């Protein structure tokens, strides 16, 4: 049975500024590095077979910290795990989006990647992962705008809460589909909250 631990990358300066990152490449902020360290310490007592990251630096930095602290092999990066492309919205704050496109900016066609396109990337990745790592426990470090629709596709239910930075969600493949064992957990961050 394949088990996947979905991890959202640590906080970046753009997260702190409320700036939409999308596929723009930003590094972890100091607080994001600390979050990743705390998550890695939490995962140290678990047994995982490998960690794979989005090719964006904030996810790769988070994954490398987890690998270094836990000894879990860093399998590599995969562009299919990268954040949703947000088109013209990338790099903007909520205030800038409203000033530029109005309150209804989410309803406009601004070049954002559709769920169907994102899930095509995910489906291709999952097929390869399932064939290459059958029965393994694999950590995937990705992005909130990517993980949420993937979880919706696996469970048939939308994720109702915002996925927090360095949150851990554990999904297990079962005969009937997927079972969510843990959702959006940030218990490791309690020392810094």
Give the C-alpha separation, 10 to 154, whole Å: 24
Start-end of H helices in the chain: 13-17, 30-43, 57-70, 94-101, 115-132, 144-155
Task: Choose which CATH entry (3.40.50.300, 3.40.50.1240, 3.40.50.970, 3.40.1440.10) describes domain 3-192.
Answer: 3.40.50.1240
90-122 tens-digit pLDDT: 999 999 999 999 999 999 999 999 999 999 999
pLDDT of residue 161: 85
Catalytic residue status for 152: no
Catalytic residue status for 179: no
- Tell me the whole-structure pTM to 2 decimals: 0.94
Question: Which of the residues 37, 64, 83, 179 is marked catalytic?
Answer: 83
Is the separation of the CB atoms in 139 and 5 below 8 Å?
yes
49-105 tens-digit pLDDT: 999 999 999 999 999 999 999 999 999 999 999 999 999 999 999 999 999 999 999
Q: Comparing C-alpha atoms, which of 28, 23, 118 is closest to residue 80?
A: 118
Q: Comparing C-alpha atoms, which of 115, 154, 119 is closest to residue 4?
A: 154
pLDDT of residue 192: 56
What's the mean per-residue pLDDT of the chain?
95
SS3 144: helix
Domain spans in the chain, listed from the N-terminal domain onward: 3-192
């Amino acid at each position: 049975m394949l088990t996947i631990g979905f991890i959202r990358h640590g906080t970046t300066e753009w997260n702190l500024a409320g700036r939409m990152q999308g596929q723009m490449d930003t590094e972890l902020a100091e607080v994001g590095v600390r979050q990743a360290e705390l998550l890695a310490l939490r995962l140290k007592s678990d047994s995982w077979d490998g960690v794979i990251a989005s090719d964006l630096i904030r996810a790769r930095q988070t994954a490398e910290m987890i690998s270094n602290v836990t000894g879990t092999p860093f399998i590599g990066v995969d562009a299919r795990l990268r954040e949703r492309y947000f088109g013209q919205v990338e790099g903007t704050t909520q205030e800038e989006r409203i000033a530029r496109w109005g309150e209804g900016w989410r309803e406009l066609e601004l070049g954002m990647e559709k769920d169907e396109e994102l899930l095509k990337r995910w489906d291709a990745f999952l097929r390869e992962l399932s064939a290459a790592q059958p029965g393994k426990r694999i950590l995937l470090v990705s992005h909130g705008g990517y993980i949420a629709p993937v979880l919706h596709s696996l469970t048939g239910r939308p994720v109702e809460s915002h996925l927090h930075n360095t949150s851990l969600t554990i999904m297990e493949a079962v005969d009937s589909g997927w079972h969510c064992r843990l959702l959006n957990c940030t218990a490791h961050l309690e020392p810094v909250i």
